[in-house]
């Protein structure tokens, strides 16, 4: 019997019939790209409604469409984000669990906590930089009207004043310690459990100044209840264009921001990382997402694993030196 040899026309016709079915099975997915076969969790170490949680939920909405799977956000609060960091670090490296973290969880906590359940720099791998929220020093207007006046008063009255932080050992505390050393003033921190607890006392002038995110102080600076001393960044904040940047007040290269990034368990395969980089890029290009983040004082700065790794390594060393020099602890 002569064996059947399909003609080239027959093979092309069959391929054309099968192509739509393949497209339906994995919509929009190019050959070779990873596609999850189950929900992909985004873990957050802070309460619902906070900035880290907001970033995660905005990412999740779009990522679910890109990945073709539900992307639930799970809040594991406690220990300045360490509980969530541990949960992700110990999760299977199979693309089903990721951490949306802020700068403190990754590069500050390891220096300020005596014991860490995992090492974020070793046990988590960078996926993508997502966005950042600028930091700003604000003061009661009767205490100081600008940065030069603030520094001059503190130098005239050494040891007599305190500054507010939104948590011992957090970025608000550490960056102000860096600032205090940079301008060479003698001032003592007062720690609060978050910006919500700190703000009312600052508005009453006790303590008379402190540092937190731009959005924490924005409406009060606009309304005149607080004066903006310096935006601790390379440029002015779009929402507060009258507050000078670090360089404008003489603090050259004094640039810090509260960034948010996506991390995965160590050992997560490269195709999974690449797919999540793309999913977050698509999510952060949605106009409504950009607008929502901007309304919360955040700016999109999407970048891939290499950029996030370089950032964490640089800031881990920088913050570590300041924390050791200042004897800063999470319970101090």
- The predicted pLDDT at position 150 comes to 98
**165 pairs with which residues across the strands?**
191
Segment (H or E) for 313: helix 305-326
Which of 230, 249, 268 terminates a domain? The answer is 249
Is residue 216 located within the same domain as residue 269?
Answer: no
- The residues that bridge with 99 in the sheet, in sequence order, are 43, 263
Domain boundary residue, one of 249, 281, 316? 249
Question: Hey, how many other C-beta atoms are within 10 angstroms of the C-beta on 150?
Answer: 25
d(CA 189, CA 177): 9
Nearest to 248 by CA among 264, 270, 226, 233: 233
The verdict on residue 287 lying in a domain is yes
Residues 150, 241: one domain?
yes
Total domains present in the chain:
2
Report the distance separating Cα 8 and Cα 205, nearest Å: 83
Establish if 7 belongs to a structural domain.
Answer: no
Pairing relation of β-strands 257-265 and 124-139? antiparallel
H or E element in which residue 329 lies: none
Domain assignment present for residue 182? The answer is: yes
Structural domain boundaries enclosing 266: 41-132+258-326
Residue 4 lies in a domain: no
Across the range 168-177, mean pLDDT stands at: 90
196 and 176 within one domain: yes
Q: 36 is written with which tokens?
A: 């999850």
Q: Which residues contact 197 (CB under 8 A, 6 or more apart)?
A: 166
Please write the tens of the pLDDT for every residue from 48-80.
888 899 999 999 999 999 999 999 999 999 888
Q: Are residues 100 and 181 in the same domain?
A: no
Q: Using CA atoms, how far apart are residues 127 and 271, in angstroms rounded to an integer?
A: 11
Strand extents, DSSP E, 179-267: 188-191, 209-213, 227-231, 257-265
The chain-wide mean pLDDT, for the chain, equals 88
**Is residue 21's pLDDT more than 60?**
no
- H or E element at residue 274: helix 270-283
Rg (CA), the chain: 24
Q: What is the pLDDT of residues 223-250, one digit of tens each?
A: 999 999 999 999 999 889 999 999 999 9
d(CA 89, CA 263): 9
Q: Which two tokens stand for residue 215?
A: 């959005």
* 177 and 268 Cβ atoms separated by less than 8 Å: no
Both 125 and 138 in one domain: the answer is no
Based on the fold, state whether residues 127 and 139 are members of the same structural domain: no
User: How many Cβ atoms from other residues are within 10 Å of residue 314's Cβ?
Assistant: 11
Pick the closest to residue 309 from 119, 122, 174 (CA basis).
Answer: 122
Residue 195 half-sphere exposure toward CB, CA atoms < 13 A:
17
Which range (13-27, 32-46, 88-102, 154-168) has the least confidence?
Answer: 13-27
The domain that holds 62 is classified in CATH as: 3.40.190.150
Same domain, 121 and 269: yes
pLDDT above 70 (res 3): no
Domain co-membership, 244 together with 264:
no
CB distance 275 to 30 below 8 Å: no
Q: Looking at the predicted structure, is the pLDDT value of residue 10 above 70? A: no
- Note whether 150 and 56 are same-domain residues: no
State the virtual CA torsion across 119, 122, 126, 129 in degrees, nearest 10: 50
Tell me the per-residue pLDDT of 180-214, one tens digit each, with 9 for 90 and over: 999 999 999 999 988 888 999 999 999 999 999 99
In a domain, 285, yes or no: yes
Q: In angstroms, what CA-CA distances link 230 with 53, 148, 207, 209?
A: 27, 10, 17, 12
Query: Residue 178 class from Cβ within 10 Å (0-12 exposed, 13-18 middle, 19+ buried)?
Result: buried
Task: Classify 28 as helix, strand or coil.
Answer: coil
Question: 16 lies in a domain?
Answer: no
* Listed residues 184, 217, 249: the one ending a domain: 249
The one-character DSSP state at 48 is: T
Same-domain status, 72 and 167: no
Q: Can you give the pTM of this predicted structure?
A: 0.80
Q: What is the CATH number of the domain that holds 204?
A: 3.40.190.10
Q: Are residues 141 and 190 in the same domain?
A: yes
């Amino acid at each position: 019997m002569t064996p059947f040899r399909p003609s080239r026309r027959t093979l092309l016709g069959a391929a054309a019939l099968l192509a739509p079915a393949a497209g339906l099975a994995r919509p929009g997915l190019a050959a070779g790209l990873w596609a999850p076969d189950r929900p992909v969790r985004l873990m957050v170490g802070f309460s619902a409604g906070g900035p880290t949680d907001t970033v995660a939920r905005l990412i999740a909405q779009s990522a679910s469409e890109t990945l073709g799977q539900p992307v639930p956000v799970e809040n594991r609060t406690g220990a300045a984000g360490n509980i969530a960091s541990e949960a992700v670090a110990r999760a299977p490296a199979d693309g089903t669990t990721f951490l949306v973290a802020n700068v403190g969880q990754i590069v500050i906590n390891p220096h300020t906590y005596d014991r860490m359940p995992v090492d974020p720099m070793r046990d988590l791998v960078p996926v993508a930089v997502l966005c950042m929220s600028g930091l700003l020093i604000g003061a009661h207007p009767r205490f100081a009207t600008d940065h030069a006046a603030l520094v001059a008063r503190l130098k005239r009255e050494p040891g007599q004043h305190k500054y507010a932080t939104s948590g011992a050992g957090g970025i608000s505390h550490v960056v102000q310690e860096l600032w205090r050393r940079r301008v060479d003033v003698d001032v003592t921190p007062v720690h609060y459990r978050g910006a919500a607890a700190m703000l009312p006392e600052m508005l009453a002038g006790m303590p008379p100044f402190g540092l937190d995110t731009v959005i924490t102080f924005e409406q009060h600076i606009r309304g005149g209840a607080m004066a903006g001393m310096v935006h601790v960044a390379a440029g002015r904040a779009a929402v507060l264009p009258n507050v000078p940047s670090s360089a404008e007040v003489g603090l050259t290269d004094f640039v810090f921001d509260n960034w948010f990034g996506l991390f995965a368990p160590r050992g997560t395969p490269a195709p999974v990382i690449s797919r999540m980089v793309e999913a977050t890029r698509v999510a952060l290009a949605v106009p409504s997402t950009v607008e929502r983040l901007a309304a919360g004082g955040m700016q999109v700065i999407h970048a891939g694993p290499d950029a996030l790794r370089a950032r964490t390594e640089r800031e881990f060393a920088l913050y570590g030196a300041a924390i050791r020099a200042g004897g800063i602890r999470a319970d101090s």
